[in-house]
Structure 1
């Protein structure tokens, strides 16, 4: 009677064994998913560190801004070093404020409009930095399972081809190819799940910080508007 060992050699079902025994198409899928997963983790670590620095800088700036220190002194301190977050928005607005007064601009409405435009541009620039590369996480999170599924389908096609070539329905004939195929789906899920979770978390954090930037811009614009009115009455 024909034994299982005679039907098909023992398959190496370890991770490396499944990879090396896979078809070149399935190997390409696996390598692509692993590369995408590594890049996702690099983005996650980089963004987490960047957002942490941004939060600390924003908290530190708010404490100094609302401490009663004059805007001129704070501007001198902030303009001497690179700033981010609220500090960058503040410096951009103060530059336009000082430029307008140095040119003796007489139209208060024009000054106010320019300040609001500068604030909008500064917020957009900071928002772009916060949201940069988050789209890659969203893409991997949505596409990786389907890419892995493609590798699975391709591997199962090879398994059925092996059945036809061996003229045997013994499970040992197709165990290896099916395992390789399912391994591709597993890698796709390993890449997609952290990407989706990280995207939701990081995009939520980014939206909160963008909201803080917009709220500060409104408050700062109001402060400058009051100073414009006070100077106009003098």
Structure 2
């Protein structure tokens, strides 16, 4: 293997690691904004929800922009549809209690998918970036050995450049992996905490619905899609 392809491989490895770094920090910023926005909107919506005088009044609180609000809306819509539907088939054979719990579980899974979007990319970068750096290191050493063979000399002038490139590739690989792994662990903990809060609220919601006889007045609203962020495009 001659020196020119080897050099191109090392340079390509460095560019790939640079791309990984840009992607990592883009996801970190996007997921941090998503987590902050979800937390702030949950607090705002929960304050309005628990300030409502009755369960029926709480159904009118707009919450499409927050995970907890969408969860509550899914529950209210399930109860409304149960009132409006007179069909007698398997889809509508659930008791109101079971129907409500099923829709709440489905909405929690929808929120989970939204919150976890992009985390697989962070995990992949964190686990592969050091090996990509080592890949560049190997070819950097091959370049150094080739240079020694051609010049029949192992002087510092001959090997310093290729060995330096090899060490840079290893260092960049580690530098890219560390923030990706730390960010992945942080956001996984945030997702678990958010889902725990949603599970707790779902339990409270079922209790409130039971006190209201599993009935809520008003027409069902159109289902609200889960909004995506930049990070979710990489799911």
Same fold (TM over 0.5): yes
- Contact 1:105 1:111 (8 Å CA) reproduced: no
> For the residues of structure 2 that align with 1:105 and 1:85, how far apart are their CA atoms?
31
Q: Where does residue 93 of structure 1 map in the other structure?
A: 75
Q: Where does residue 51 of structure 1 map in the other structure?
A: 35
Displacement of 1:76: 2.5
Alignment of 1:179-190 (within 5 A): 179-190=164-175
The count of corresponding residues between Structure 1 and Structure 2 is: 210
CA displacement, residues 165-209 of structure 1 (integer Å, 9 cap, x when unaligned): 110121221000000111111111121111111111111111100
Q: More displaced, 70-79 or 44-53? A: 70-79
Q: In structure 2, list runs of 5 or more residues that go unmatched.
A: 1-5, 217-235
> For the residues of structure 2 that align with 1:84 and 1:68, how far apart are their CA atoms?
17
Q: Which has the larger radius of gyration?
A: 1
Q: Where does residue 102 of structure 1 map in the other structure?
A: 84
- The structure carrying a bigger helix percent of its residues is 1
SS in 1 for 2:95: helix
- Contact 2:97 2:214 (8 Å CA) reproduced: no
- Contact 1:108 1:228 (8 Å CA) reproduced: no
> For the residues of structure 2 that align with 1:210 and 1:169, how far apart are their CA atoms?
60
Alignment of 1:133-172 (within 5 A): 133-172=118-157
| Cα RMSD (Å) | 2.5
Q: Where does residue 123 of structure 1 map in the other structure?
A: 108
- Contact 1:84 1:126 (8 Å CA) reproduced: no
SS in 2 for 1:78: coil
Q: Where does residue 23 of structure 1 map in the other structure?
A: 7
Q: Where does residue 159 of structure 2 map in the other structure?
A: 174
> For the residues of structure 2 that align with 1:93 and 1:204, how far apart are their CA atoms?
26
- Contact 2:48 2:61 (8 Å CA) reproduced: no
Alignment of 1:59-70 (within 5 A): 59-70=43-54
Q: TM-score when scaled to structure 1? A: 0.82
Q: Where does residue 197 of structure 2 map in the other structure?
A: 212
Alignment match of 1:39 (pick from 23, 30, 41): 23
